Structure 1
């Protein structure tokens, strides 16, 4: 009864607009006090912040965020879009496909979906509208392409999942590579299908010579070097994800210097943004640990596992229900908050049902991508609407075809776990 009451209090605080970290801390502290009194509460509160924030793996979070800020500072997204446009812009819907490719490239060197959506809104959206694209088609592809940063390494969301679930972060990041490619191709295929249905929604773009196409690839070189500096060293076993995050942040800083965009003002802005985002995420993780101790003492997760086991329902049916719950939560809450709140409770059940935690982590992030573009929250849609100065309803209308195609791909990834797990199994020990 105490666990149920405290959980209801947590969701009530969230519904009232209390910040996620404070909601977790208040509910968890009250629960600990009710169970063990002031001594238990004081013991947890005095030890949890240092033990949690001092985690070695947690260093990768601010480093990957800093890497994203330096990539934004470098302005490399403009070059990525131009290169993609040069190669596929002449194809019907080519600029939309180029947006997906630019989103994948930017995500591979940033890891932040909102940063990716904001950058694409400022670069690719005006180009599509200028060429005569249907605003719904243009806004939809920009919003969904921004979510690729959640999946393609270095993904901050996958790092957070690994920290919360105590799962190998390197395997999680590598596990996102093939699904990330498949999601990119799915976005491109959806654009192609939409243009096939209504050719007037996306006029053909400018044609380029082969020499111009080859010259456009010069911007891809530094991006590939940076991507390999992070993902390649993790896959080969040369560096841990934490060490790779430091390499990535330094590499992104060098890229920004190369582009000539670093000065005292821009550097201070990038560092400040990275510090703000890092403090917010670490604060949420620390407070989630307090709430996690409460769940542990009440044995809530074990009771849920035992209850589901007694139902005699197929593990796949339970998985479908869990994923449906994630889809619903994704429509209402921020993805970081969803991971923090649900993973400690859901993961023991997933393991008890015999599912791989690495595979499940990637699946959850694919589901979270859908949540980033579905109402009423749809964070990426709000970002695109703000930066592109377009109506929210227009962007939401444009993402629905991509939501449907995403759900179809999700079904494939669930049915064939080897798509996700093959690359992690090939990693150096």
Structure 2
């Protein structure tokens, strides 16, 4: 093995060691990239690379989309749009067996369209819908598992910060990825609803039926939810039909969400301060991650290690299907060690060239990556959304929440299998709108 390729492997190993020592992922990747490039070309050019990559990323309009969408989600939560969505979904299906769980899934999907964050969606509906399910006799584990799983929809349904990160690093259009995620998102919601229906038929005692809403109550719920419908359709529709760029759509959405919050007189100095500080914190974390990934990616490109990996895999004669399955297993195992987003970012310089060499579309792979991340947010030992719900409802045992998410994990595995078997489900809509 040539020297530069071996140096890349040492850099990758050093990144994992730093991450294991709780160094932030972006910082760990940046250190490995700078040190590795410094060994190859000298530390003068390596330090210059820090300045150039930082400047390029800070000037990126695509990355500016992330803090704007985060701010939009904060203002939407401040305006009470999540509660409106849940009340509407409850008024429609709440009387059915498992109806409150279905309403939670519907509410999470709708709020994901104005939030873009899995953790924020889970935390919001952990407060909005979990008490309602528990009060109506739902099994604590099933109720908590439903909220945790519904929360994962926040990173698949546009706008999604993770998709922006992937688009920037893979040099793909954000709008294309957002449009490609729409059909998989509908499949996800449908499979979640089917899962609830089947589970509650097998175990009816875990999800009692509730009273049926009157026509007046349904009309009121529909009337109260118009702001979130207008907001989500403006943001997603504006991008899909080319009215706005992704950045412009995020800015318009943030302003609209703030206006709704102001109109409902829900803006307070303290809540506004929390929203702005939370947005700044999330944006800083993401920028550090992307800058670190750019530094390591530049170093890996110089060593030509990704090309060497592609050539080695092609020479081995491994069947494509086996290679894809191996990558799936690798990401799921990596998710048991550290965050799935970190796994995606760290491995992208090597995995993406491999995927494209097999003839797959980078947009398709981006959606598959997000679906895998959704899985990782539910399965032990990390299961980020599980721990979010545990924080919201500390009285529910962690083991019960993991049992509650088990049916949804199976649903997500089925969805992953469908998208792997039928890539046109991801690529069809972008091609139609492009044409």
TM-score, normalised to structure 2, is 0.96
Shift of 1:383: 0.5
Partner residue of 1:97 out of 102, 110, 120 = 102
Q: 2:377, 2:384 within 8 Å by CA — same for their partners in 1?
A: yes
Structure 2 match to 1:175: 180
Structure 1: 5+ residue runs without aligned partners?
none
Partner residue of 2:136 out of 131, 134, 150 = 131
Instruction: Quote the Cα distance in structure 1 between the aligned partners of 2:51 and 2:64.
Output: 21
Q: 1:226, 1:251 within 8 Å by CA — same for their partners in 2?
A: yes
Q: Deviation string for 1:382-424 (max 9, x for gaps)?
A: 1111012222222112111111111011111111112111211
Identify the range of structure 1 (198-207 vs 320-329) with the bigger mean alpha-carbon deviation. 320-329
Q: 1:76, 1:219 within 8 Å by CA — same for their partners in 2?
A: no
Q: 2:34, 2:295 within 8 Å by CA — same for their partners in 1?
A: yes
Identify the range of structure 1 (38-47 vs 226-235) with the bigger mean alpha-carbon deviation. 38-47
Structure 1 match to 2:340: 335
Shift of 1:428: 4.7
Shift of 1:336: 3.0
Structure 2 match to 1:388: 393
Structure 1 match to 2:119: 114
Q: 1:72, 1:115 within 8 Å by CA — same for their partners in 2?
A: no
Partner residue of 1:419 out of 421, 425, 430 = 425
Structure 2 match to 1:59: 64
Are residue 195 (structure 1) and residue 205 (structure 2) matched? no
Secondary structure at 1:420 match in 2: helix
Structure 2: 5+ residue runs without aligned partners?
1-5
4+ residue runs of structure 1 moved beyond 6 angstroms? none
Distance 1:326 1:219, change over 3 A: farther
Structure 2 match to 1:266: 271
Partner residue of 2:410 out of 399, 404, 407 = 404
Shift of 1:155: 1.1
Shift of 1:281: 0.4
Kindly tell me the number of residue pairs found equivalent between the two proteins.
429
Instruction: Quote the Cα distance in structure 1 between the aligned partners of 2:387 and 2:359.
Output: 38
Instruction: Quote the Cα distance in structure 2 between the aligned partners of 1:247 and 1:24.
Output: 34
Instruction: Quote the Cα distance in structure 1 between the aligned partners of 2:354 and 2:224.
Output: 45
User: Cα RMSD between the aligned structures?
Assistant: 1.3
Structure 1 match to 2:232: 227
Q: 2:34, 2:47 within 8 Å by CA — same for their partners in 1?
A: no
Q: Deviation string for 1:187-239 (max 9, x for gaps)?
A: 11111111111111111011112332222112332112111211111111111
- Where in structure 2 are the equivalents of 1:271-420 lying within 5 Å? 271-389=276-394, 390-420=396-426
TM-score, normalised to structure 1, is 0.97
Instruction: Quote the Cα distance in structure 2 between the aligned partners of 1:342 and 1:67.
Output: 30
